[in-house]
Amino acid sequence: MRVMNERSLKKRDLGKSGVDFIRQQLLDGGPLSERFLERLGEGHVWEFYFDGRSEVANVQEFLHGGQFDAEDCTAQGEGYIDFLISYLNGGTSRMLLFENQLARLNDPFMLSKTDLFEFDEATYFYYPSEPGCVDKPGVAGHLSSASNYPYIMLAIRAPMGMPPPQRGRISIEMANEIAVQTEHLLVGAYDGEGYVAWSNE
């Protein structure tokens, strides 16, 4: 059995540099990301890190990889997965949205997929499709649904008390409500080796 890293995985606030990095990523994101921009000031930006990690990165350093070894990357990834599972298990109306600016509903490889919708030329995968079916493989598997650059995932309460449509399109009103109901945001960082998160707590 593999021996896990004995160092403690901790959570730290990233302050202004973290906010600036997420803003930069959202500006390159899809239509729901643009609607979320004005809410950045309502929360704080944070990341998981290990004891011994250097001081908080600046905006440019968030873009560069090679800052973690493979074991640290795996452990940090599991930390975010556990965080998202805990969030989803906190209420039946909670779900994750994965923003993909490249895929389209009529793409051949998309025709068999159901838990997704379109808004303003971008596709959004969501998880879970039904309350009570949250598990670690499901969350881990869906983390690859978003576009890589930028990578953006929103943790939300179902807008207007209703789940998104399956293989449909949402209205501007629902899109605006999604921005309001977003409680956490995960953005890819360190050249795909990690994440930076925003929370409205």
Q: Going by C-beta distance under 8 Å and a sequence separation of 6 or more, which residues neighbour residue 18?
A: 45, 46, 47, 56, 62, 196
Mind listing the pLDDT tens digit for each residue in 106-136?
Answer: 888 777 788 899 999 899 999 997 777 899 9
Using the Cα atoms of residue 103, residue 107, residue 110 and residue 116 in order, give the sign of their dihedral.
Answer: positive
Phi, psi of 20 (to 5 degrees): -65, -40
Q: What is the pLDDT of residue 7?
A: 67
CB of 71 within 8 A of CB of 5? yes
The 10 Å Cβ neighbour count of residue 148 is 11
Report the number of distinct structural domains present in the chain.
Answer: 1
81: in domain: yes
Which residue range(s) make up the domain with 105? 11-50+59-199
Calpha distance 113→78 (Å, rounded): 26
Q: Tens of pLDDT along 151-174?
A: 999 999 887 666 777 888 999 998
pLDDT at 57: 66
The confidence score (pLDDT) of residue 160 equals: 64
Question: Is 158 contained in some domain?
Answer: yes
Domain membership flag for residue 194: yes
Q: Is residue 3 part of a domain?
A: no
Alpha carbon distance 60, 135 (integer Å): 34
Inside any domain, residue 2: no
Residue 11 in tokens: 């959570």
Residue by residue, pLDDT tens for the chain (201 residues) are 334 445 688 899 999 999 999 999 999 999 999 899 989 999 999 999 887 666 666 677 888 888 788 888 899 999 999 999 999 999 888 999 999 988 888 888 777 788 899 999 899 999 997 777 899 999 999 998 899 889 999 999 887 666 777 888 999 998 999 999 999 999 999 999 999 999 997
